[in-house]
């Protein structure tokens, strides 16, 4: 699973698809942005360059590769190779520059995105509680849940234990201790397992995996895209996902 359209909050009509020339090698399911420098129309997205990003124009999701598609396991889907020479274009099937089909991002569109650790192939880290929190306001755990939990913009989810299924916003993030303002209903106990993610329900800050196939829950979101998270699901290992809409400032789309 990579980026995919879920619905439009305004009841917009059928999806808009464009067949476009690429300016960089891309893969099905990637978030796409406008290409301003490589001779194509679109290319895979960019990691946020500021908080919030102010230069990248997100335009769509790659839905199919129409020219010489090649499956690549690391990207879990078909890819299209960016080419510029006559020889490469003559060898393509069909001949010509590499084209993709892209689902256009419109204001109000909601997308389902996998939640991953840096790349699409790596699920979020599961950590184990190493201490009991008698007030339910801290979770001390083994290992590093995420590189930099961002206070008030990250989430901790209880996967096993008395609080299974409960989500809490991390109000003070740490390497091995997460502090909460809203307590877990029951005391977290030694051996309980949790997942932390740099995203939260509601207004949130996100950034992409380095392969642009999902949301990176491990990266610091000091540089970020502003979004609204409609649903956050950290329940099942390898199937974590979120439903998100992008702030209009990040979207290139025609307006009335």
- 245 secondary structure, DSSP code: E
Would you state the structure tokens that stand for residue 128, as one six-digit string? Answer: 């184990």
136 in the same domain as 188: yes
230 in the same domain as 157: yes
The rounded distance, in Å, linking the Cα atoms of 246 and 250 is: 7
Query: According to the model, what pLDDT value does residue 227 have?
Result: 98
In a domain, 253, yes or no: no
The rounded distance, in Å, linking the Cα atoms of 161 and 138 is: 15
Number of domains in the chain: 2
Q: What is the pLDDT of residues 90-124, one digit of tens each?
A: 999 999 999 999 999 998 999 999 999 999 999 99
DSSP letter string over 221-255? Answer: -SS-EEEEEEEEE--STT--EEEEEE-GGGB----
The rounded distance, in Å, linking the Cα atoms of 176 and 31 is: 32
136 in the same domain as 20: no
Sorted by sequence, the CB contacts under 8 Å of residue 14 that are 6+ apart come out as none
Q: Between the CA of residue 154 and those of 26, 32, 96, 216, what are the distances in Å?
A: 30, 25, 45, 12
The rounded distance, in Å, linking the Cα atoms of 186 and 189 is: 9
100 in the same domain as 50: yes
> What pTM does this model have?
0.93
Burial class of 227 by CB neighbour count within 10 A (0 to 12, 13 to 18, 19+): buried
Q: What is the pLDDT of residues 223-236, one digit of tens each?
A: 999 999 999 999 99
Range of the domain at 27: 4-109
User: What is the helix (H) or strand (E) element at residue 240, kind and residue range?
Assistant: none
- 63 secondary structure, DSSP code: E
236 in the same domain as 124: yes
Query: Final residue of a domain: which of 109, 143, 162?
Result: 109
- 248 secondary structure, DSSP code: G
Query: Final residue of a domain: which of 81, 109, 137?
Result: 109
User: Above pLDDT 70, what percent of the chain?
Assistant: 98
Q: Are 225 and 249 in contact (CB under 8 A)?
A: no
Q: What is the pLDDT of residues 125-152, one digit of tens each?
A: 999 999 998 899 999 998 776 777 888 9
Query: Residue 210: which pLDDT band, with cuts at 50, 70 and 90?
Result: very high
In a domain, 63, yes or no: yes
In a domain, 62, yes or no: yes
Query: Residue 238: which pLDDT band, with cuts at 50, 70 and 90?
Result: very high
Query: Final residue of a domain: which of 109, 136, 170?
Result: 109
Find the mean pLDDT for residues 47-65: 95
């Amino acid at each position: 699973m990579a980026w995919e359209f879920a619905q439009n909050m305004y009841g917009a009509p059928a999806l808009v698809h464009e067949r476009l020339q690429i300016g960089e090698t891309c893969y099905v399911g990637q978030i796409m942005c406008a290409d301003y420098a490589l001779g194509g129309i679109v290319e895979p997205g960019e990691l946020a360059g500021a908080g919030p990003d102010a230069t990248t124009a997100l335009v769509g999701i790659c839905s199919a590769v129409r020219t010489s598609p090649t499956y690549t396991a690391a990207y879990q889907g078909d890819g299209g190779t960016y080419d510029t020479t006559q020889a490469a274009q003559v060898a393509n099937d069909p001949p010509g520059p590499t084209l993709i089909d892209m689902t256009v991002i419109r204001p109000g569109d909601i997308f389902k995105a996998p939640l991953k650790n840096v790349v699409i192939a790596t699920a979020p880290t599961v950590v184990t509680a190493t201490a009991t929190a008698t007030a339910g306001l801290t979770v001390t755990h083994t290992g590093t849940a995420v590189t930099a939990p961002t206070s008030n913009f990250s989430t901790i989810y209880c996967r096993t234990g008395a609080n299974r299924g409960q989500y809490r916003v991390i109000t003070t993030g740490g390497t091995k201790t997460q502090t909460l303002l809203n307590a877990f209903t029951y005391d977290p106990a030694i051996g309980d397992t949790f997942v932390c993610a740099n995203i939260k329900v509601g207004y949130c800050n996100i950034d992409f995996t380095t392969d642009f196939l999902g949301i990176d829950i491990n990266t610091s979101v000091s540089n970020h895209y502003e979004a609204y998270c409609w649903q956050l699901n950290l329940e099942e290992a390898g199937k974590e996902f979120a439903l998100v809409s992008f702030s209009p400032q990040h979207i290139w789309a025609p307006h009335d």
